[in-house]
Structure 1
Amino acid sequence: MRVLVLVFSVLAGPVISDTVVAARTLPARTLIGPEDILLRDTNVVGAIDQPELAIGRESRVALYAGRPIRLGDIGPPAVIERNQIVMLVYRRNGISISTEGRALDRAGPGDLIRVMNLSSRATVSAVIDDNGIAFVAQ
């Protein structure tokens, strides 16, 4: 009976999983490669636990060596730079209007940014697609 209790107490211990940490300090806007991350035997709530979730992504904030990387700290690589001229598209009820706009923020696919319509000088919110086209948010 004692052996059985010992086995269950060992198995019921805390679960430790791998956590992805920065191998070196990475400034914001750095494309993350395999050499930039390490796995640590620790469990940090909210931290990434799979290296493939970080590799190929871009740091949104500075990532410090040895500190866990969280999903909010990284994102897709930017396809639009601040002040870049972009195609601005408005679609609604079967109508599509396209014009040029100026990106007021840096963005990657799926990001919501402000874009200034160059014709009217109005500022709108737009979602960026994979090709860098800004679609006016509804």
Structure 2
Amino acid sequence: MRWFPLLLLALLLPASAAQAQLSGAQLSGLRARVVVEGDTIHLGDLFEDAENGSRALGPAPMPGRRITVEMPQLLAIARTYGVAWRPFSAEERVVIERPGRPLPREEWFEPLRNALIALGMDPDAEVDIPGFAAPMVPPDSLPRVTVEQPSLDENRFAATIAVEADGMPALRLRVAGRVSATVPVAVATRRMSLGEVVKASDVRVQRVRVERSRPGLADDAVLVVGQQLRRPIGEGMPFAVRDLGAPVLIEKNSTVVMVVESNGLTLTAQGRAMADAPRGGIVSVMNLSSRQIVEAQAISPGRVRVGPPPPNQR
């Protein structure tokens, strides 16, 4: 390489000789690691005490990236701009970094989503972009995001995401992926045990891909709240309609008051429920005095009505 003889000479000469060869100038130091805030690299970013350190050398790395200036490049730059510097080894280099932050998902995803909706995508569809990494922008910038040339073919899409921000060149990122239809599903917000009655805070409705759903799942909190679980359910699991039922008002083998209403008279007797029953449910009850089994309707906790309901409740 052309720089090798000069490097060898610089390494062999004593410091005083090297300084004399550089017209007696004080040697500049090398900055091993540099963080630049702007979009331009200056001479002073590489060399300490450079007389014309404000001299622009070229573009800085993109936000969040780094570049390495190796010794041959440093030597060429020093000679070109008259910097009194000599390398002490072939391993000398300068690493230039530029701070950045990833563009938040909502800032690039929402414009893309709106562009796809304008092309006919279902607003509730799920958008999947495999392998996409959010672009980096300067930390304090206010990026402007636009979507160019979007296309949608059934469940496949493509588009170009253009990102502009002060202090960096415009970025254009080509993205492609697929859209998937979704359906609402009611899921548990906590682990619940057999027999618990579902409260409003126990359920949330979220959308899942159609292929991840199955028939018989509750799709609305109204179908779940107030119902009693017929089997346990884990947090985040969907509620199946067949695993829900009206809360048990009368428990099997419990003692109940049997109420008979006729001609304005109300008669009561003790009985034993032969099965569970929800409010308004029909249950077989054994009269504890006569041992006769009759059909009764659960009307309140521990209370059943034998016979037809009063006219005003029919």
TM-score (norm 2): 0.34
Q: Does the alignment pair 1:107 with 2:107?
A: no
Identity of aligned residues (%): 28
Of Structure 1 and Structure 2, which has the larger fraction of its residues in strand? 2
1:18 to 181, 184, 195: 184
Q: Deviations along 1:54-94, whole A, 9 cap, x unmatched?
A: 223221222233332123322233322333322324679xx
Alignment of 1:57-96 (within 5 A): 57-89=227-259
Q: What's the Cα RMSD here?
A: 3.5
Give me the whole-angstrom Cα distance separating, in 1, the residues matched to 2:239 and 2:229: 9
On the 8 A contact 2:197/2:228 being kept in 1, the answer is yes
- Stretches of structure 2 lacking an aligned partner (at least 5 in a row): 1-118, 122-152, 156-178, 309-314
Q: Does the alignment pair 1:41 with 2:207?
A: yes
Residues 128 and 121 of structure 1: is their aligned pair in 2 closer, same or farther, counting only changes over 3 Å? same
- Stretches of structure 1 lacking an aligned partner (at least 5 in a row): 1-5
Q: Which residue of 2 aligns with 1:3?
A: none
On the 8 A contact 1:82/1:104 being kept in 2, the answer is yes
Deviation for aligned residue 1:27:
1.1
Residues 20 and 136 of structure 1: is their aligned pair in 2 closer, same or farther, counting only changes over 3 Å? same
Q: Which residue of 2 aligns with 1:56?
A: 226
Number of residues paired by the alignment?
132
Q: Which residue of 1 aligns with 2:159?
A: none
Question: What SS does structure 2 have at the residue aligned with 1:72?
Answer: helix
Residues 103 and 41 of structure 1: is their aligned pair in 2 closer, same or farther, counting only changes over 3 Å? same
* Paired amino acid for 2:243: D
Once the two structures are overlaid, the 10-residue window that deviates more, 72-81 or 18-27, is 72-81
Of Structure 1 and Structure 2, which has the larger fraction of its residues in helix? 2
On the 8 A contact 1:29/1:59 being kept in 2, the answer is yes
Residues 69 and 97 of structure 1: is their aligned pair in 2 closer, same or farther, counting only changes over 3 Å? same
Q: Which residue of 2 aligns with 1:28?
A: 194
TM-score (norm 1): 0.67
